[in-house]
Each structure stands twice: as C-alpha cells, then as structure tokens.
Amino acid sequence: MSPQETHEKDKIPTSAGDLVITFLGHGSLMFDFNRVNISVDPFSRVADYTQLPKADLILITHEHHDHLDKSALDMVRTENSDLVLTETCAQQLEGGIVMHNGDMIEVRGIPIESVPAYNLVHKRENGQPFHPKGRGNGYILTFGEVRVYIAADTENTPEMKALTGINVAFLPMNLPYTMTPEMVADAARAFKPTILYPYHFGSTNTNELVELLKNEKDIEVRIRKMA
C-alpha cells in the first residue's frame, strides 16, 4: 500500500470537476482539484511528505510549530509553489503571499478568502489567548461553486458565525486550544455548512458533536482520522 493510500480520501463533486480531499491528520489536509495540488499546514508528524505529491499551492494558517513546520514545508514546496500565509509567518518564511484577516485573492484560479481565527474564551495561565485576534487566518477556497472553509485554530467567533454559503467546513476541537464540541455545534447551527468535518481534534470525543447535531438535518457530520 502506498503512503497516499493509507490516508482517508473524500471526493466532492463540483461544477468545475471533482475535488479530492486527503485527510492527513491533525490540522493537515491535502486537496486535489483540476491538477492543482493544495497542501494545508503540512506537519511532519502526520505524513511522510517525501512520498506525497509536491504542492502547487500551500496554505499556512498561523505560526505555531504544528502548523508552520519548516521541515514538512521543505518537502512539499518547490520553486514553482505558491505560498499563502499570515504576516507573522512571513517573518519566518520567504517568498509568500501575505493575507490579512478579511483579504480576498485568487491563486492558481482558486478564489481564497481569509477569515479571522482566534480565541474568545480559552487562554494561557497569563491571561493571553492561545490564538490572539489578528494573527491567524482561516481560509475559504472556492472550487467551482463549492465553498470550503478551513477554520484553523479558532473558536466560534462572530466572524465565523456570520459566514454564508459554506458547503464544506473543517472546524477544530483540539482542547484546550480551540473549540469544545458545544462551540463547534453552536457555530455550525449559525452558518450551516452542508458537510462538517471536525478536524485537529486530538483526544476530544467526536461522538459528542455527532450527538449535538443529530437533529440538524441540513448538516452532515463526517468523522475522519484527523486527531
């Protein structure tokens, strides 16, 4: 079995061709769309990136080591790769396209929107949020008519809950750094993604989220190996 085949995959039909999602683990995802390979927060711990396709487009959500992993990045990045990242990440990496919260750009024919990713409740012992507002990005990518939201390390912020037209959402449940299942359910009820993937969930029990949303018939919760 090849390394690519050891990771779960889903295929999402769009008006412009199939979107193939590979669930690498933690906060790391891979998308393949019309021969454009997209790597999100590549992290050495979850995959052997030497055995995976090189990335045409790389998205980095914030500067924490499990999201900005220079070793993994070196394995997927080529001189032709486009790198989209935050201003804080750009202090450590060269040649990237900086997106601030609320920016909209198009790369490789794929529209990308940046959504704030930050904590409202969960904080360090010194009172500082694990993820301060303004430093991290979630990203919305549009494939044909399908809008995919990768929330990154965040809680159920007003900006998240105000989103519209999201077909696929990846929401984190890695406690204590991101959301509880109740927070994820609250956000999902607000912006109503068609498909919801909890990801970056560590040891959090995903069955709790399934139970919380069992009566939301318009939201399909899909559980994949993303601990």
Residue 77 CA to residue 169 CA, distance in Å, equals 25
Q: What is the pTM of this model?
A: 0.96
Q: How many domains does the chain have?
A: 1
Q: With a cut of 70, which residues of the chain have pLDDT below it?
A: 1-5, 227
CATH of the domain at 40: 3.60.15.10
Residue 176 CA to residue 56 CA, distance in Å, equals 33
In a domain, 140, yes or no: yes
Q: What does the pLDDT read at residue 6?
A: 83
In a domain, 227, yes or no: no
Residue 30 CA to residue 42 CA, distance in Å, equals 9
Q: What does the pLDDT read at residue 227?
A: 67
Instruction: Return phi, psi of residue 211, to 5°.
Output: -65, -40
Structural domain containing residue 121: 3-221
In a domain, 59, yes or no: yes
Cis omega (within 30 of 0) on the bond before 42? no
Can you give the C-alpha Rg of the chain in angstroms?
16
Q: What does the pLDDT read at residue 73?
A: 97
In a domain, 226, yes or no: no
CA atoms within 13 A on the CB side of 140: 22
In a domain, 196, yes or no: yes
In a domain, 49, yes or no: yes
CA atoms within 13 A on the CB side of 15: 5
